Amino acid sequence: MVEANPNYWGEKPEFNTVTLKFLSNPAARSAALLSGAVDVIEQIPPSDISVFQNRQDVALYSVTSTRMIYLAMDQARDDSPFLTDKDGAPLKVTR
């Protein structure tokens, strides 16, 4: 739980306390919001987006992320099927 600092010099927060709950299961996060057990969630499962978009009691925000899950070079083969020229033909490695 996070509590507001009464000695903070800036604008007073709208809440005195905020309780953070870590719900790793995506379905549990959605269910918690729909049941009123929590007020805010992030990382809505793609399958639940339409459920939240059609509700009047939920505000849904979408932002572009710079998060990258995994990036690797295709080094295991001489000719990668993932590299093509402008016409879609595979690029050949020249050494």
Rounded to the nearest angstrom, the gap between the alpha carbon of residue 80 and the centroid of all alpha carbons in its chain is 30
pLDDT digits (tens, 9 = 90+) for 54-94: 899 999 988 887 777 787 877 788 777 778 888 988 877 67
How many C-beta atoms lie closer than 10 Å to residue 30's C-beta? 19
Name the pTM for this structure.
0.59
Rounded to the nearest angstrom, the gap between the alpha carbon of residue 32 and the centroid of all alpha carbons in its chain is 17
E-strand ranges in 1-95 read 2-3, 17-18
- Given this model, what pLDDT does residue 95 score? 66
- Given this model, what pLDDT does residue 21 score? 93
Bridge partners, 2 (sequence order): 18
